[in-house]
A and B are shown apart, each in its own frame.
Chain A
Amino acid sequence: MVKIYTFCTSSIMVKEESLKAAKRITPSAYSAPTIEKNSAVKSKKTVDLCFPLLSDLVYGNPISLDALLSTFPGRRTQILELIQLLGPLNSPTLPLFVYGVPSTGKTSIILQLFRHLNRPFVYSSFRTCYNPRNLFESVLNLLLLHHRVAANGYSSTKRCDKLSDFVDFLRDALTSLIKRLKDDVKNSVSPQSVLPIDGYMIYLIFDHLELVREWGKSSSMLQFLFNLHDNLNIPEVGFIFISNLAPDMFCSNMTYVEQIPVYFPSYTEDDLRQILLRNQENQKLYSSFLNVVLRPFCRITRRLDELSPIFESLYMQYCKPIGDPSNVILSEDMKRRLYSNLMPHITSARNETFRVLDYAAPGTETSTKFEMKGCKRKLESSKKSDELDFHMSISAKYLLISAFLASRNQATLDASLFDSSGGSDSRKRRRKTPDKVKAQQEISEDDLQTKGPGSFPLERLLAIFQCLASVAEGSSDEDGGSDDWLGIGGESAVVTSNILLQISSLSNVKFILKGGSCPLEGSVRYRCMVSEDLALKVARSLRFPLAKYIYRR
């Protein structure tokens, strides 16, 4: 499941209702306020976009404090603390740093809080602004109340690349906006804007701050943002930073005056239960379901964005024996029946790959991403994972298998597996291996477990590839040949440019990685990143007996 933040940093901001609709589409588990909005917006009204309103800066439709507190169970202390830190109307504030594990409600609470307080704010997220220019232009567009529409060719008001330009433009935009808000407050007798705005302080909210760390060491964006409060020196501006990481993970060479931290701990089991029970029609049935599943799954993870898709599919399983969920009477017997029906699915779900398509941790790559299917996959269809779900050309498949064998087996074994004429050894010549060599081979097997796939030079890859291709050609001749077979590499020993292109495309998708150069030869070595499961799948699709070639102790 993918969380879609369609905050209008760079999209069209129409009217308040459609503004709310475009704001957020959250998982159904904790989306009580948004559900009201979504249902309210069935008809989008066309709006005259020539008059950007000051009220675009507020959320609109303010809610009371009780509504806010009841929308977010378990977050009472954090909400009250935030209200205290933001202070009464028009009171200057020091920058705040809101942090916590993902899906603890930081962004939604802050935005609903500003809805309750009805104060103007400018929200920008580093997930949508992926380089400095995007960030600068989106913030300036919002402050200058500029809409990017077809009429002006979806362009921003000002082109802003550099930090120094941004500071100047920001200062001008903020001072003019604050002046306008102050004038509005003075002339509050005749309100110009449709909805009254409270106060003249503007709050700049920067979300997903941890993504800035990946912009590279040369980017001084973090230091710039943290010092922006001092640089601007405008007391009517407040800063709020939201991040998944604690502030101490943002250490850099340059110091800054630290912000006030506000910590959002992850939800307790009771809070999770309360949140998951919302928006369920049959509360009793769902709560008996939660009694069964919540505790075991909370031992794996306590993050709501990972638990809710699992629970959704499990709940469908749970309700299967019951015909009509609204009319069921929950006796103990019924509960036991449902539980026993669900048990096997729970055990299989506990060991399933997490199907949440989440962003990768910094600096990691995983080849198993390609094995993750889309979110619609049901539990029963795990048998279908024997098939490859992406297309590769035949030569690429053979190259992949050769790379896998080259990484998996030691180079010394090549001679016994493939004979020198280019074909595979049909009869296994059992040479007596001395004990020392056997011990070394066992150590290398252990190494494989701990150190991972080995590296190989390009020549070895091509040699193995030619062996395999000749084997395959031989077997396809026996089968009468297939039309797809284009005689890859079987004719001559010349390495065509096609093969090299295939290798480079395989390394582009990170099936083969460059690296680990040999210190003696100085040539580049490659490493195959594919897991054994995927290699077996590929081999199965070619009807190639890969298992014969994998050396096992």
Chain B
Amino acid sequence: MEANGAAIDALNLIRSRLCNPNSIFRSLCGSPDSNYSKLKSILSTSITEACNNSVLLLGPRGSGKAAVLELVIGDLLLEYPDMITVVRLNGLLHSDETNAFKEIARQICIDRQLLFSKMASSDDNSQFMLATLQECGLKHKTLVFVLDEFDLFIQGKQRLLYALLDALQSISSQAVVIGVSCQLDVEKLLDKRVKSRFSHRFLLFLPPSKNDLLKLVEHALYLPIDSSIPQDYAVEYNAKLDAILEDRRFQEIIDSCWESYPTIRHLMKFLFHAVSSLNLDSGYLSFENFKAALPSMQRQPKTESLRDCSVLELYILVCMKRLEVKEQSSYNFSAVMKEYKSIYGSFHTPDYYGQNVCLRAFEHLLQCGLIGFTDDRGGHNQIIEFRPVKLLISLSELIYGLKSYNSCPVHAILYIQYQLSDGYFTSIFKHGSLLTIRRSP
């Protein structure tokens, strides 16, 4: 099927584009005052004019720091072949300085086709690194250190940072240290001597403007005309996409997705989810794809967990809420059982179960995360029945969860009693699916 095959190719193309951050951020690199150009100028000055430099890239997770850095390095490697050596360290993996020096030495060896010995000690590795720096300085080659998760290098004594930045201070070396971090105030955590050697250059990755955002979406979703995809299909697809992009509802969806978490990669995740539901028979995107993908970005996890609860678990939650309303500051499972018995005594509900069954339901609730223990330290001092617990959901969430419990049998009666701010007691009776409110002064 011609259209089907073309649709699959188009889907593959767009999906690989959305999964690859580099291609997305390429579209933002045009303007001269973008972070891309600034970073490129910093690096190229240090390459051409043989000076040392250090810079920090800061911004929330998913705003494109690593992607822009990769683009810059890729372009510079094309422009100045054989003049740059890149060493990549990651704070998760190499925060320990012995590990870090070993990794630096290993990457330098790979770059220069030298044999790397695993038995070399940390001192040997650091000496090797300094020697390489000197050598690079003499040959006018630049050594670029990329430190991902920079905030994880700051734990401890920061010996690695000190060694690197100290090496930059000597005249004979030619190196650039680029740190990438999500913690915006990471500079305050730097050690005094590390801070003095750092050049205090920051590049902030802020969320792009509205226009840039729309340009990004277009760039991500449009099909190129002159590729292997059949031309008339691509033109038709782009035309349909134009109609969707101009739709006000689509812009509202993009706005709501952006407002919840304003990073580009989050938006790309949403677009990926929408595009993956492309109807392969028709082969064109429609507004429904985007609308269907929106709930996965706006999940309500506690409501989902509440819907998964059984009736007994809901009873236990309601008992805990009643105890909270009675202003018992801390209560445990045995107090909840007492309340449960009193509910049974006063309202004669058909659901009355033994202590063991209720304990099991209690453990389920703990696993789901709807309730939690308040004592983390004294966890191993007491049995589960006597440890203080608290509700981790609010009253409105609980009521919403009770309302949306759609398989509630006719005789299920759940009672909540809470005190409104004006001093009236209001009881909410739930009888089947009806909700009647009765006020009593």
When distances are taken between beta carbons in the complex, the residues of chain B under 8 Å from A299 are 310-312, 351, 409
Number of interface residues of A (CB under 8 A): 73
Judge whether A474 is part of the interface by a CB distance below 8 angstroms.
Answer: no
B369 touches A84 (CB 8 A): no
Docked-complex contact B299 and A263, CB < 8 angstroms = yes
The answer to whether B15 and A93 touch across the interface, beta carbons within 8 angstroms, is yes
Task: Using A361-B367, A364-B363 as known contacts, say yes or no to A246 and B12 having CB atoms under 8 A apart.
Answer: no
Question: Is the CB of A529 closer than 8 A to any CB of chain B?
Answer: yes
Interface of B is mostly: helix
* Contact status of A368 and B19, CB under 8 A, knowing A261-B299, A301-B364: no
Q: Which of B265, B310, B363, B383 has the most CB of A within 10 A?
A: B383
Residues on B with beta carbons closer than 8 Å to the beta carbon of A258: 266, 269
Determine, out of B28-36, B45-53, B230-238, B331-339, the stretch whose residues face the partner at the interface: B331-339
The residue from A163, A265, A302, A351 contacting B353, defined by CB atoms under 8 A apart: A351
Q: For the complex formed, measure the closest distance between the CB of B290 and the CB atoms of chain A, giving whole angstroms.
A: 14
Is B379 among interface residues, defined by CB-CB distance under 8 A?
yes
Whether B385 is near chain A, meaning CB under 8 Å from some CB there, is yes
B103 part of interface (Cβ distance < 8 Å) = yes
CB distance from A209 to the nearest CB of B (A): 14
Give the distance in Å from the alpha carbon of A303 to the alpha carbon of B368 in the complex.
13
Nearest CB of B to A132, in Å: 12
Smallest Cβ-Cβ distance to A452: which chain B residue: B386
**Closest chain B CB from A81 CB (angstroms):** 8
Known: A452-B382, A452-B385. A164 touches B407 (CB 8 A): no
A312 contacts chain B at the CB level, 8 A cutoff: no
B-chain residues with CB within 8 Å of residue A263 when the two chains form the complex: 299, 304
Cβ of A280 within 8 Å of any chain B Cβ, yes or no, is no
Contacts of B376 in A (CB 8 A): 363
Residue B384 CB within 8 A of the other chain: yes
Complex contact A163–B92 (CB within 8 A):
yes
Contact: A91 with B12, CB < 8 Å? Answer: yes
Whether A167 lies near B93 (C-beta < 8 A) is: yes
Contact, CB under 8 Å: B366 / A246: no
Q: How far is the CA of A364 from the CA of B379 in the complex (A)?
A: 7
| CB nearest to B412 among chain A residues | A299
A235 within 8 A of B: yes
Q: Find chain A residues with CB under 8 A from B41 CB.
A: none
When chains A and B are docked, how far (Å) is the Cα of A451 from the Cα of B378?
14
Pick the contact of A91: B11, B308, B361 (CB < 8 A): B11
Least Cβ–Cβ distance between B291 and chain A, in angstroms: 15
Question: Distance (Å) between the CB of B262 and the closest chain A CB?
Answer: 14
Interface residue from B103, B152, B273, B299 paired with A85 (Cβ < 8 Å): B273
Interface string of B379-397 (1 = CB under 8 A from A): 1111111100000000000
Shortest Cβ gap from A276 to chain B (Å): 16
B residues less than 8 Å from A449 (CB atoms): 334, 338
A508 touches B (CB below 8 Å): no
Give the chain B neighbours of A303 by CB distance below 8 A: 364
Question: B299: which A residues are within 8 A, CB to CB?
Answer: 246, 261, 263
Kindly state the separation between the CA atoms of A235 and B363 in the bound complex, as whole angstroms: 41
Whether A88 touches B61, Cβ cut-off 8 Å, given contacts A257-B265, A361-B367, A366-B384, is no
A547 at the interface (CB under 8 A from B): no
Which chain A residues in 224-259 approach chain B with CB under 8 Å? Answer: 224, 227, 230-231, 235, 244-249, 254-258
- Asked if B310 and A302 make an inter-chain contact with CB atoms under 8 angstroms apart, the answer reads yes
A351 engages B356 (CB within 8 Å): yes
CB distance from A263 to the nearest CB of B (A): 6
B19 near A351: Cβ-Cβ < 8 Å: no
Q: Is the CB of A164 within 8 A of B99?
A: yes
User: How distant is the Cα of A452 from the Cα of B378 in the complex, in angstroms?
Assistant: 14
Residues in A whose Cβ lies below 8 Å from that of B424: none
Judge whether B206 is part of the interface by a CB distance below 8 angstroms.
no
A87, B19: Cα distance in complex, Å: 12
Distance of A85 Cα from B277 Cα, bound (Å)? 8
State A256–B304 Cα separation when bound (angstroms).
23
Q: Which of A483-524 contact B (CB under 8 A)?
A: 513, 515-516
A389 adjacent to chain B (CB < 8 Å):
no
The answer to whether A260 touches B273, judged by C-beta atoms less than 8 angstroms apart, is yes
Q: Is the CB of A246 within 8 A of B305?
A: yes
Q: A92-B20, A93-B19, A361-B366 are in contact. Are A231 and B90 (CB under 8 A)?
A: yes
Query: A90–B351 Cα gap in the complex (Å)?
Result: 53
Shortest distance between the CB of B294 and any CB in chain A (Å): 13
Does A295 interact with chain B (Cβ within 8 Å)?
Answer: yes
Q: Identify the closest chain A residue to B99 (Cβ).
A: A164
What residues of A have a CB within 8 angstroms of the CB of B385 in the complex? 452
What distance in Å separates the Cβ of A180 from its nearest Cβ neighbour in chain B?
Answer: 21
Q: Assess whether B132 is interfacial by the CB under 8 Å rule.
A: no
A353 near B: Cβ within 8 Å?
A: yes
B276 in contact (CB, < 8 A): yes
From the candidates B20, B276, B364, name the one contacting A235 in the complex (CB within 8 A). B20
CA distance A452 to B265 in the complex (A): 50
Q: Is A28 an interface residue (CB 8 A)?
A: no
Q: Is the CB of A351 within 8 A of B272?
A: no
Q: Nearest residue in A to B16 (C-beta to C-beta)?
A: A92
CB distance from A109 to the nearest CB of B (A): 17
| Chain A residues, CB < 8 A from B363 | 360-361, 364
User: Among A230, A245, A255, A364, which residue has its beta carbon within 8 angstroms of that of B369?
Assistant: A245
Q: How far is the CB of B340 from chain A (nearest CB, A)?
A: 14
A306: chain B residues at CB < 8 Å are 360
Is the beta-carbon distance between B308 and A365 smaller than 8 angstroms? no
- Say how far A57's CB is from chain B's closest CB, in angstroms: 22
Does B182 sit at the interface, judged by CB under 8 A?
A: yes
Q: Is B229 an interface residue (CB 8 A)?
A: no
Q: Are B301 and A246 in contact (CB under 8 A)?
A: yes
For the complex, is B94 an interface residue (Cβ under 8 Å from A)? Answer: yes
Q: Interface 1/0s, chain B 348-366, versus A by CB < 8 A?
A: 0001011011011101101
Question: CA A223 – CA B407 in complex, angstroms?
Answer: 38
A282 at the interface (CB under 8 A from B): no
- A368 CB to nearest chain B CB (Å): 7
- For residue B80, CB closer than 8 A to chain A, the reply is no
Q: Which B residues touch A248, using CB under 8 A?
A: 301
Query: Please, which residues of chain B bring their CB within 8 A of the CB of A361?
Result: 363, 366-367
CB distance from B310 to the nearest CB of A (A): 5
Q: Quick one: which of B290-333 are within 8 Å of A by CB?
A: 296, 299, 301, 304-305, 307-308, 310-312, 331-332
B407 surroundings in chain A (CB, below 8 A):
268-269, 298
A363 CB contacts on chain B under 8 angstroms: 373, 376, 379
Contact with B along A317-360 (1 / 0, CB 8 A): 00000000000000000000000000000000011111000001
CA distance in complex: A306, B311 (Å): 15
Is B71 among interface residues, defined by CB-CB distance under 8 A? no
Give the complex CA separation of A164 and B104 in angstroms. 12
Contact B369 A249 (CB under 8 A): yes
Contact, CB under 8 Å: A513 / B11: no
Which residues of the partner chain B approach A482 to less than 8 Å between Cβ atoms?
none
For residue A63, CB closer than 8 A to chain B, the reply is no
Across the two chains, which residue of chain A brings its CB closest to B268? A94
CA distance A244 to B384 in the complex (A): 21
Contact indicator A92/B15 (Cβ below 8 Å) = yes
Closest to A249 in B: B369
Determine if B428 is an interface residue (Cβ-Cβ < 8 Å).
no
CB proximity to A under 8 Å, residues B1-47: 8, 11-12, 15-16, 18-20
Asked if B62 is at the interface (CB within 8 A of a chain A CB), the reply is yes
Set of chain B residues within 8 Å of A260, measured between Cβ atoms: 269, 272-273, 296
- Name the residue on B nearest A450 (C-beta): B335
Q: Determine if B308 and A364 form an interchain contact, defined as CB atoms under 8 angstroms apart.
A: no
User: Can you offer 8 A-B residue contacts whose CB atoms are under 8 A?
Assistant: A94-B272, A164-B94, A223-B92, A247-B301, A258-B269, A306-B360, A351-B353, A450-B331
Across the A-B interface, the 9 shortest Cβ-Cβ residue pairs: A452-B386, A351-B354, A515-B381, A164-B93, A299-B311, A246-B301, A92-B19, A353-B356, A266-B308
Give 20 new A-B contacts, CB below 8 A, not counting A167-B93, A257-B265, A300-B312.
Answer: A163-B92, A249-B369, A255-B61, A257-B62, A257-B269, A261-B296, A265-B307, A269-B407, A298-B407, A299-B409, A302-B308, A351-B356, A353-B360, A360-B363, A365-B384, A366-B359, A366-B384, A450-B334, A515-B381, A527-B382
